[in-house]
Amino acid sequence: MDLKSRILICEQDATLVQEIKDSLQSHNYNAEVISDATQLISRTQRMKPAVVVVNADMPGFNDHDICKHIINDLKIPVILILEKNSAKPVHIDDCRPEDVFTKPFKIEDLTNLISKQVTLSNN
């Protein structure tokens, strides 16, 4: 499988995860899912996905680690998902994710952004 087609999703909402996976599969992407944000860095280092999608409101999510290790060191684009009443927006500005989606959002909008990021990384 082409590494550029691998997407890592870190989210605990099983319904949302299934919707994202179904949408990504229809666009020929392979989604791997983890539900523990403390595993995000190690899994990203091993998997080297084209894009990481992570819920910033999950227990174990660490803004600093995401910025330093995934975005800056590994040069992998990160898309953040936030809960509707999240307090995180104040803290993620310095992280510079590719985009931030607040629940609820359109799955197709997320899939389109992932496709854009994969295309950019292939060039």
CATH code at position 118: 3.40.50.2300
Q: What is the pLDDT of residue 1?
A: 47
Percent of the chain at pLDDT above 90? 69
Q: What is the pLDDT of residue 66?
A: 82
Q: What is the pLDDT of residue 22?
A: 96
Q: What is the pLDDT of residues 90-121, one digit of tens each?
A: 566 667 889 999 999 999 999 999 999 999 88
Residue range(s) defining the domain that contains residue 112: 3-122
Distance CA 97, CA 66 (A): 9
- Of 27, 79, 33, 31, give the one whose Cα is nearest residue 52: 79
Helices (H) and strands (E) in the chain, counts: 5, 5
Q: What is the pLDDT of residue 33?
A: 97
Q: What is the pLDDT of residue 43?
A: 95
Which stretches of the chain drop beneath a pLDDT of 50?
1
Is-contact 75 30, C-beta < 8 A?
no
The verdict on pTM exceeding 0.95 is no
